[in-house]
């Protein structure tokens, strides 16, 4: 459906949990007050919300978190969403730790594509960034996915102080494995030491140009807002997602559902609408009209600055 500004809203990101087995320096999942388990959306509740959303024009679903693969039997949810008529794609954003065990079953259940967050290819730095993560295990998981779904793997790398010295490694790694590579501007979310790790997007753009001539590529590689450069000497495209430096609110197509069932029309929304409560008390018609209104009234843009953002990614669903 279209919102009041005429934007086509066809994409929902659903956080399946606010918990995570990593505690990345830029996300601070570990410092978040946990949502009690009984307040989380059940798979049946998520299925119903997605059904209603699909009737309103949502076609693309992304499962995220926290770490979505921590959610037991996630395959059952994927199967349920797969059966919803108007849903065209189901994606997953994960830190990749459990992919070694889960890759086969989640794709068998109907997953279409996967985004793996990977911020260093150096074991020591990876451990430092994730506060204990095991790079080797994530790479093994990626190998497994590459056998099952070789052309649908995106690597998301947050732009931090670790990236400049590893930029060429990342380009070669993506080229060798045929991964789609995207660099994401660091957002100053709650609980992180922003100043210690922040590196401007422009530094990465300059470094890319030092490595090779680059050209902006038109066309889209997914439903996201990345700007893609072709890095000529390496022979790959690299996406840059800069939500703060280059706002893309005018083209925004998404809403977010948190793991406790609150619908946020924008990352900027201080308060969302509690859908889980409605599921308990309301009928399907009310649910439909509340979701419709929330989407229709989506804010014109976020007002984040480089100074601070008062939300946490793993709570809202990054």
Residues 309, 187 contacting (CB under 8 angstroms): yes
Binding mask 123-162 for ligand SAM (x = CB under 6 A): ---------------------------------x-x----
Taken in order 166, 171, 176, 181, is the CA torsion positive or negative? positive
Give strand ranges (E) for 179-253.
Answer: 180-184, 214-217, 227-231, 236-241
Comparing CA positions, the residue from 287, 262, 255 lying closest to residue 41 is 262
Cα–Cα distance measured from residue 158 to residue 296, given in angstroms and rounded to the nearest whole number: 31
Between 3 and 67, CB nearer to ligand SAM: 67
Residue 156 CB neighbour total at 10 angstroms = 22
* Interface pick for ligand SAM out of 7, 47, 65, 145 (rule CB under 6 A): 65
Comparing CA positions, the residue from 86, 90, 66 lying closest to residue 76 is 90
**Of these partners, ligand SAM, ligand SF4, none, which one is at the site of residue 186 (CB under 5 to 8 Å by kind)?**
ligand SAM
Cα–Cα distance measured from residue 261 to residue 315, given in angstroms and rounded to the nearest whole number: 11
* Interface pick for ligand SAM out of 41, 142, 263, 313 (rule CB under 6 A): 313
Residues 155, 120 contacting (CB under 8 angstroms): no
Chain residues in the site for ligand SF4 (CB under 6 A)? 20, 22-24, 27, 29, 65-67, 95, 117, 313-314
Q: Assess 189 for contact with ligand SAM (CB under 6 A).
A: yes
Comparing CA positions, the residue from 11, 7, 81, 86 lying closest to residue 46 is 81
Phi, psi (degrees; rounded to nearest 5) at 52: -65, -45
How crowded is the C-beta side of 246, counted as CA atoms within 13 Å?
A: 12
Output the smallest distance, CB 129 to ligand SF4, in A: 8
**Of these partners, ligand SF4, ligand SAM, none, which one is at the site of residue 141 (CB under 5 to 8 Å by kind)?**
none
**Of these partners, ligand SAM, ligand SF4, none, which one is at the site of residue 23 (CB under 5 to 8 Å by kind)?**
ligand SF4
Residue 283 CB neighbour total at 10 angstroms = 9
Residue range at the interface with ligand SAM (CB under 6 A); choices 34-42, 47-55, 146-154, 186-194: 186-194
Structure tokens at 269: 């929304």
Output the smallest distance, CB 213 to ligand SAM, in A: 28
Between 265 and 318, CB nearer to ligand SAM: 318
- Looking up tokens 């889980």 gives 276
Q: Assess 92 for contact with ligand SAM (CB under 6 A).
A: no
Binding mask 243-282 for ligand SAM (x = CB under 6 A): ----------------------------------------
Between 67 and 185, CB nearer to ligand SF4: 67
**What is the binding site for ligand SAM (CB under 6 A)?**
20, 26-27, 64-65, 67, 93-95, 117, 156, 158, 184, 186-187, 189, 192, 313-314, 318
């Amino acid at each position: 459906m279209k919102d009041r500004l005429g934007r086509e809203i066809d994409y929902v990101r659903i956080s399946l949990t606010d918990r995570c087995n990593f505690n990345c320096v830029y996300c601070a999942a570990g410092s978040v007050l946990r949502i009690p388990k009984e307040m989380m959306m059940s798979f049946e509740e998520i299925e119903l919300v997605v059904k209603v959303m699909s009737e309103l024009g949502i076609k693309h679903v992304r499962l995220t978190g926290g770490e979505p693969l921590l959610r037991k039997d996630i395959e059952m949810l994927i199967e349920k969403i797969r059966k919803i008529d108007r849903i065209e794609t189901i994606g997953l954003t994960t830190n990749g730790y459990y992919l070694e065990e889960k890759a086969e079953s989640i794709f068998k259940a109907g997953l279409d594509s996967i985004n793996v967050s990977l911020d260093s290819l150096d074991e020591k730095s990876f451990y430092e960034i994730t506060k204990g993560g095991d790079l080797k295990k994530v790479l093994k998981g990626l190998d497994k996915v590459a056998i099952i779904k070789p052309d649908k793997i995106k690597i998301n790398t947050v732009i931090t102080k670790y990236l400049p010295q590893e930029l060429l490694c990342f380009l070669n790694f993506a080229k060798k494995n045929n991964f789609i590579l995207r660099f994401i501007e660091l957002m100053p979310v709650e609980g992180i030491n922003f100043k210690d790790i922040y590196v401007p997007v422009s530094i990465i753009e300059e470094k890319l140009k030092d490595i090779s001539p680059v050209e902006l590529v038109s066309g889209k590689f997914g439903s996201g807002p990345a700007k893609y450069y072709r890095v000529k000497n390496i022979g790959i495209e690299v996406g840059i997602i800069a939500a703060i430096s280059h706002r893309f609110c005018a083209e925004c197509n998404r809403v977010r559902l948190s793991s406790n069932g609150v619908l946020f029309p924008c990352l900027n929304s201080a308060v969302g609408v509690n859908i889980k409560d409605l599921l308990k008390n309301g009928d399907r018609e009310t649910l439909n009209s509340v979701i419709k209104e929330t989407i229709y009234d989506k804010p014109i843009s976020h007002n984040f600055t480089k100074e601070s953002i008062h939300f946490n990614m793993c709570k809202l669903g990054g």
